[in-house]
């Protein structure tokens, strides 16, 4: 159970990280 829960918790932060990085890149492009 712990392994399954850890995998589920690790997937969300990674997804959020990707979204944040994409948003930051879009902001940088707009500033340039």
Please indicate, yes or no, if residue 13 is contained in any of the structural domains.
yes
Whether 1 is in a domain gets the answer yes
13: domain range? 1-25
How far apart are the C-alpha atoms of 9 and 21, rounded to whole Å? 19
Please indicate, yes or no, if residue 7 is contained in any of the structural domains.
yes
pTM, full prediction? 0.55
Q: Give a yes or no: residue 30 inside a domain.
A: no
For the chain, give the number of residues: 32
Residue 21 domain-assigned? yes
Question: Structurally, how many domains does the chain consist of?
Answer: 1
Q: Is residue 31 part of a domain?
A: no
pLDDT tens for residues 1-32? Answer: 566 666 666 666 778 889 999 999 999 999 98
∠ CA 14-3-16 to the nearest 5 degrees?
Answer: 10
Determine the pLDDT at residue 14.
Answer: 79
4 part of a folded domain: yes
The secondary structure of 4-27 as a DSSP string is HHHHHHHHHHHHHHHHHHHHHHHH
pLDDT at 20: 94
What's residue 27's pLDDT? Answer: 97
């Amino acid at each position: 159970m712990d392994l399954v829960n850890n995998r589920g918790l690790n997937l969300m932060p990674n997804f959020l990280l990707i979204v944040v990085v994409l948003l930051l890149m879009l902001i940088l492009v707009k500033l340039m």
